């Protein structure tokens, strides 16, 4: 899926992996055989906004400012990456 996300991004297409789906309903709609596992669904589309990435100061909740710009807080790499120890 990550390869699909990166290929889509290269073409200017946004994506969103979704784990919370009604797998039985999806299986029926798309006629997916029972011996296939549905682990994730990937939504694809052209972005309607240009989010601003910013450093997280605790909360990673997305928010929009008064001008409607979406802000996406991200944790610093040092807080999530560990090399051979914690």
User: How high is the pLDDT of residue 65?
Assistant: 94
Mean pLDDT of the chain: 92
Residue boundaries of the structural domains of the chain: 1-48, 49-86
Residue 86 has pLDDT above 80, yes or no: no
> CATH says 49-86 is which class?
mainly beta
The tens digit of pLDDT for each residue in 16-74 reads: 999 999 999 999 999 999 999 999 999 999 988 889 998 887 888 999 999 999 999 99
Give the residue from 47, 50, 55, 54 showing the smallest Cα distance to 70: 50
Residue 80 has pLDDT above 90, yes or no: no
User: How high is the pLDDT of residue 85?
Assistant: 80
Whole-number Cα distances in Å, 75 to 10, 22, 24: 24, 31, 35
* pTM metric for this prediction: 0.63
Q: How far apart are CA 77 and CA 64, in angstroms?
A: 23
Residue 76 has pLDDT above 90, yes or no: no
């Amino acid at each position: 899926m990550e390869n699909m996300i990166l290929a889509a991004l290269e073409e200017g297409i946004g994506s969103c992996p979704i784990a919370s789906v009604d797998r039985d309903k999806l299986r029926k709609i798309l006629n997916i055989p029972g011996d296939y596992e549905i682990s994730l669904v990937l939504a694809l589309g052209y972005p309607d906004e240009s989010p601003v990435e910013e450093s997280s100061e605790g909360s990673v909740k997305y928010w929009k400012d008064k001008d409607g710009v979406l802000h996406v807080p991200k944790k610093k790499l040092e807080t999530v990456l560990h090399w051979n120890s914690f």
